[in-house]
Structure 1
Amino acid sequence: MTTPHTDPYEVPGRPCSIAATLQVVGDRWSLLAVREVTFGNHRFRQIARNTGAPTDRLSARLKSLVADGVLERRPLPDEPRHDGYYLTEAGHDLVGVIRELLRWGDRWLTDAPPMKLRHHDHDFSLRPVCAHCGEPVTRGELHAEVAAAGWTLAGPDADPAGQGVQDA
């Protein structure tokens, strides 16, 4: 899903899907709200309590996540008069990102992780595998290929006047 304010070619700097993604979920409260919905907490008060977000900010972030197609509001099964927040397909795709943030934080920020992901009867450990060829992917095997016109990995090809861009 692309919206005009998240088009990778319209964000400042290098045209990049990371920059566009951060326009949608690049603040603490957005990703923590998605985490809570992933855990099955669909009510506003649950999400507020478990994220620690100020309610005015959380309300704004939830509205934005709904507008950007990450979450949807729909009636709660046990209280149809009240709406809850649920992941859309785009929201489900963020679960892998949240898993990686958890893995990174467990590795670099704590000696005693406060939560574990489990798969059947063992700790979950993700191993990247190429969906195209089925081979495991290791560090150093991926490379970036720039598709945005006028850009290289180092930055813009040339300035607007057609002069080469020089390093300062």
Structure 2
Amino acid sequence: MGGRGGSSGVSKREPVSKLMSKVYYNSAKKSTALRSDYTVERDAVIEKAIRNGDASFIQSISNEKEARRVSEYLTGRVAESDRKLAKLGSAEAVYKNQKAAAEHRDIVSMSVAMRGKMHEFSERPTSGNTNIHDTSRTTTTYDKARKRRMSNFDAWFFGGKK
């Protein structure tokens, strides 16, 4: 098991379990990606990051245009991977084809990390704009009715002596 550095014969990534193979297969066979045969043109930098599980690549993206490009690329790769797993025909076949299952796992994890990065580029609603559901400045039907009941009670209780 040991040695002086280098590969010791033990893979750094654990194999995909039978349960996860079943999950991947069931997800793939229900995917809308099966309706098309679109393939993305490979990008060597992104593919290397997927193979290495390098999430720091995603954190290094600094502008929205690049983030959108990478996000669309990863979406296309997930769709390709779904088609590949669905063609295998069963969860057992996915389990036996560890290379495809592990690749799918890596692509999906990178895609999830990219979704998180895309939130940095989304606009946050500005405070005070009632068109974007800022409830602090809107009056609800309940508030109007309560105010009316309060003024009616005051008129009755104080009898106009207020």
Range into which the TM-score falls when normalised by the shorter chain = under 0.3
Which one has a larger percent strand, Structure 1 or Structure 2?
Answer: 1
* The structure with more radius of gyration: 2
More relative contact order, 1 or 2 (CA 8 Å, 6+ apart)? 2
TM-score (norm 2): 0.25
TM-score (norm 1): 0.25
Which one has a larger percent helix, Structure 1 or Structure 2?
Answer: 2
